[in-house]
Amino acid sequence: MNKDFASTPRPTFKRTLRRISMISVIITMTFIWLLLCFASVVTLKQYAQKNLELTGSTMSHSLEASLVFNDSLAANETLAALGKQGQFAVAEVLNAHQKRFAYWSWDPEDNTDTLGALVSRWLFPVPVAQPIVHNGTAIGEIRLTARDSLISHFIWLSFAVLTGCILFASAVALTITRSLHHGMVTEMQNITDVVHDVRANRNFSRRVTEGRIEEFHQFGEDFNSLLDEMEEWQLKLQAKNAQLLRTAMHDPLTGLANRAAFRNSIAALMNDSSAKANSALLFLDGDNFKFINDTWGHAAGDGVLIEVASRMVEFGDKRHQSYRLGGDEFAMVLYGVHSEREVQHICAALSQQFIRPFDLHNGQTASLSLSIGFALAWENASVEALLEQADRNMYLVKNQRTKTIT
């Protein structure tokens, strides 16, 4: 992926819609403005042409007598009088021989509108000519050129009105478009919020609300169905993970935490100085468990191990944690102990739990003693040292029992 493109902030859906609307409205309104301006100019040209022809026709009647009596002075006065009213820029009267009879022109220095002059030349490239008739015979001709300032005034006024109307229509169109887009943006925002929450927080319980637009509604329904499947899959996966974790950290026979859980617990204990200061470790090992297995079978032996675990849990209650390390080896972590003498009393009390015979569920009972060795956590600097001391003390107790029996 292009890094420059990736670092560029992406526009939102709302901003993109607004940009598309603005571009569409601007292009459309500009095109309409150009068409209306062109139509206005063409209409103005036709109107001005007709108006100039009408002015020429009226003036031809006024100049008829001047041509008949060959009074050029009166003709010039008539042209000047009408020209000063601003109806035309140049007026020229020709006689029957196409010779100039009278002429009037406005002062060019009064015109400062260069653009208006160019527009006037484009609209009226040639003067408007009207014949002067006397008794049905043409005795001359009058030629009129339109006034630049008058044309410019109408053109600029038309452009200003059109521009104002177009701007107002554009504002109205953008406002209406924005209002119409609001529902679409809201539905898209609803969908993106749900998608983001699911991705960021794994919140598969979120659902897209029902939409009013068919495509968004269908998308929301499909996405909700997918979320239903994902939520069900997540629950199954969590249950499976919990089961796997329990299997990995618990002994399947007795239900006690296993050796892996024991190692994790001891490591955490030795890294916690406050817990280490009042904790101890007990190792328990069966003294005659092999005899039970060999005499009554493994099923009976498993029953005894289950009962041992049950008595340990009952003794430890919620204060101490019991573990099965394997075979007939068990461990118990004591919490809230503060002296070696207190630990010795707990070991003695725990040994009493195993004096009661074990029911083999075959009409027989068996006795099983367990050798218990302990190690004080606050006296050992490492996990290995703690385990080694507890194991050594447990075997000391076991050896002493063996010598006593012998």
Question: What would the mean pLDDT of 333-362 be, rounded to a whole number?
Answer: 91
Q: Which of 65-79, 104-118, 154-168, 311-325 has the highest mean pLDDT?
A: 311-325
Per-domain residue ranges of the chain: 13-170, 202-249, 259-405
Q: Please tell me the predicted confidence (pLDDT) of residue 310.
A: 93
In the chain, % of residues over pLDDT 90: 24
How far, in Å, CA of 312 to CA of 261, rounded? 17
How far, in Å, CA of 257 to CA of 325, rounded? 8
Q: Give 244-279 pLDDT, tens digit per residue.
A: 877 788 888 998 999 999 999 999 999 999 999 999
Q: Please tell me the predicted confidence (pLDDT) of residue 1.
A: 47
- All residues at 6 or more sequence positions from 156 whose CB lies less than 8 Å from its CB, including other chains: none
How far, in Å, CA of 371 to CA of 405, rounded? 13
How far, in Å, CA of 372 to CA of 112, rounded? 118
Hunting for tokens 């600029």 — which residue is that?
156
Local confidence band at 392 (pLDDT 50, 70, 90 cut-offs): very high
Local confidence band at 151 (pLDDT 50, 70, 90 cut-offs): low
Q: Tell me which long-range contacts 205-210 makes (C-beta under 8 A, separation of at least 24).
A: 205/231
Q: Give 169-190 pLDDT, tens digit per residue.
A: 888 888 888 887 777 777 778 8
pLDDT score of 320 more than 60:
yes
Pick the CATH number of 13-170 from 3.30.420, 3.30.450, 3.90.1280, 3.30.1330: 3.30.450
Q: Give 48-59 pLDDT, tens digit per residue.
A: 778 878 888 888
Least confident of 83-87, 135-139, 286-290, 384-388: 83-87
148-201 and 13-68 helices, crossing angle to 10°: 170
CATH number of 259-405: 3.30.70.270
Average model confidence (pLDDT) across the chain = 83
pTM of model > 0.85 = no
How far, in Å, CA of 131 to CA of 403, rounded? 154
Q: Structure tokens of 62?
A: 């006024």
How far, in Å, CA of 186 to CA of 238, rounded? 34
CB-based burial label for 202 (10 Å; 0-12, 13-18, 19+): exposed
How far, in Å, CA of 292 to CA of 287, rounded? 10
Q: Please tell me the predicted confidence (pLDDT) of residue 178.
A: 80
Q: Please tell me the predicted confidence (pLDDT) of residue 77.
A: 85
Hunting for tokens 């009074």 — which residue is that?
71
Give 324-368 as a DSSP string.
Answer: EEETTEEEEEEES--SHHHHHHHHHHHHHTTTSPEE-SSS-EE--
Kindly list the catalytic residues.
328
Type of residue numbered 276: K
Q: Please tell me the predicted confidence (pLDDT) of residue 322.
A: 94
383-405 and 259-271 helices, crossing angle to 10°: 120
Q: Are the CB atoms for 274 and 334 separated by under 8 Å?
A: no
Question: What would the mean pLDDT of 133-154 be, rounded to a whole number?
Answer: 78
Q: Please tell me the predicted confidence (pLDDT) of residue 306.
A: 93
Question: What would the mean pLDDT of 296-304 be, rounded to a whole number?
Answer: 90
